[in-house]
Structure 1
Amino acid sequence: MTDIYDQHAKAFANVSAYVVAKDGDIIARIAFKHSKSNLRVTCYLHILGAQMVKAYATGGNYDRHTAAARSAISKVVAEDTDIRTVQRVGAFRDAVTDNGAHWDQDLRRVGFDVWQAV
């Protein structure tokens, strides 16, 4: 019988997933999937209140997770009438910038909690 921990490790070998919270409330979910060649990172971002988006970063020698996250954030659309979601999306866009920090450090810097789930 295969050990359940081995099964889990195999199933999520190329995936990392995070939960983003503010003041104890879950605000967003973000997951990264590496290609088998490890040259492409796909980012799935769901800021609650908006549709999930997907973006990519390819190549090497740079932080592809942050590049893919920034690209995903730029694709998020919030309904103008949903003020809370508009504010969340704006906070993400303002936080995750091309400043040399990792995407999760940027979010933590402005008061979000980032927890790794997988």
Structure 2
Amino acid sequence: MSNRSFTQLIEFEIEPRQQAALVSALATQTEGLAQRYDGFLSASVQASDDGRRVLSFLQWQSREAGEAAFRSFESGEEDFWQLIRTHRAKNVTFNSFQVHSSIARSHDDALHCRLPVSRY
């Protein structure tokens, strides 16, 4: 079993007038996922400058943790498919990735790099 974290990227193509509402709805749902599911590491919701795309980025400790949360997201009280219909997404693209390395700046301005142990 790999010890690499797992990232889900969901890109929405929408009309610019829908962008703010979709960003708000995704931020609310992402906060709920973070509070309810073990294995949550980080998330962000990003909006394109042209107003036509929204990107949801969720990072989990494992693929299993991310998939369990997404299954609930699909069918729970905050139905993912209803969110797509409500905000009239023209296209939704799902991607998933295993993290091979990451770097972040801490509050003390230091850089921290995580390189998971490779199984290769």
Instruction: Pick the TM interval, shorter chain.
Output: under 0.3
Q: TM-score, normalised by structure 2?
A: 0.26
TM-score of the pair, normalised by structure 1: 0.26
